[in-house]
């Protein structure tokens, strides 16, 4: 393992380039989707509708990229955490990552079920329309709308925790853990 001269810590081995780029693509898409959902709510109806079309297609993209990332992960073990990471943070890291993967699957699927139940097809950037995965029904649409929003707020909270933890590792702990996911 290489020594980080600036921090005096031992840097961890890196994730594969594929895992790194999938992480950043998914992360960017999630942040854009949170912004589209939260920041366009009060805009004029047509503007909001256009933003939601992008939100839905981007959600499908997140789902596809997440499935690719999971398949990649099954064949490529992540690098170990640096020895400097406290024991109590190790299981917490695994829990947060598990929750991310669960939300990255459940959030787009809940939106897809919601749109199917609301009888509003999802257009994938003008290339094709996704088939419905639930029968139309107001009760199911209302329930999935609520669940989708709850999952979205949970994702927002998890993203904030993740970013704050990364900043702590980088600037307070200087653990070198962030170098594992640096694409450059």
- Residue 58: CB atoms within 10 Å: 19
Classify residue 8: in a domain, yes or no. Answer: no
For 71-119, write each residue's pLDDT tens digit: 999 999 999 988 889 999 999 999 999 999 999 999 999 999 999 999 9
Classify residue 128: in a domain, yes or no. Answer: yes
Q: Report H helices in the chain.
A: 17-39, 45-75, 89-117, 138-167
Classify residue 6: in a domain, yes or no. Answer: no
Classify residue 81: in a domain, yes or no. Answer: yes
Residue 44 maps to which CATH number? 1.20.950.20
**d(C-alpha 106, C-alpha 11), whole Å:** 34
Structure tokens at 13: 């081995």
Is the pLDDT at 180 greater than 50? The verdict is yes
- Given a contact cutoff of 8 angstroms between Cβ atoms, the answer to whether 108 and 60 are in contact is yes
Classify residue 115: in a domain, yes or no. Answer: yes
Task: State the DSSP H helix or E strand holding residue 123, giving kind and residue range, or none if neither.
Answer: strand 123-124
**Which residues form the domain of 174?**
13-181
Query: Domain count of the chain?
Result: 1
**d(C-alpha 59, C-alpha 68), whole Å:** 14
**Residues ≥6 apart with Cβ < 8 Å to 139:** none
Classify residue 7: in a domain, yes or no. Answer: no
Query: What is the predicted pLDDT for the residue at 103?
Result: 98
pTM, entire model:
0.90
Helices 17-39 & 138-167, crossing angle to 10 degrees? 120
Classify residue 5: in a domain, yes or no. Answer: no
**d(C-alpha 34, C-alpha 40), whole Å:** 10
**d(C-alpha 169, C-alpha 138), whole Å:** 46
- Given a contact cutoff of 8 angstroms between Cβ atoms, the answer to whether 126 and 71 are in contact is no
For 30-64, write each residue's pLDDT tens digit: 999 999 999 999 999 999 999 999 999 999 999 99
For 113-137, write each residue's pLDDT tens digit: 999 999 999 999 999 999 999 999 9
- Under the banding of pLDDT at 50, 70 and 90, the label for residue 12 is low
Closest among 141, 148, 136, 137 to 38, alpha carbons compared: 148
Classify residue 21: in a domain, yes or no. Answer: yes
């Amino acid at each position: 393992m290489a020594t980080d001269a600036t921090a005096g810590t031992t840097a961890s081995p890196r994730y594969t380039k594929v895992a790194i780029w999938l992480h950043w693509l998914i992360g960017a898409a999630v942040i854009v989707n949170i912004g589209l959902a939260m920041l366009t709510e009060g805009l004029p109806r047509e503007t909001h509708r256009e933003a939601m079309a992008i939100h839905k297609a981007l959600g499908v993209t997140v789902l596809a990229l997440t499935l690719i990332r999971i398949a990649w992960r099954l064949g490529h073990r992540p690098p170990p955490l640096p020895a400097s990471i406290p024991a109590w943070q190790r299981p917490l890291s695994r829990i947060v990552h598990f929750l991310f993967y669960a939300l990255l699957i459940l959030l787009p699927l809940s939106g897809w079920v919601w749109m199917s139940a609301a009888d509003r097809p999802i257009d994938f950037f003008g290339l094709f329309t996704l088939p419905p995965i639930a029968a139309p029904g107001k009760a199911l649409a209302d329930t999935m709308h609520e669940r989708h929003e709850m999952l979205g707020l949970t994702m927002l909270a998890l993203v904030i925790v993740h970013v704050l933890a990364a900043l702590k590792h980088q600037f307070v702990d200087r653990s070198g853990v962030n170098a594992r996911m640096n694409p450059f």
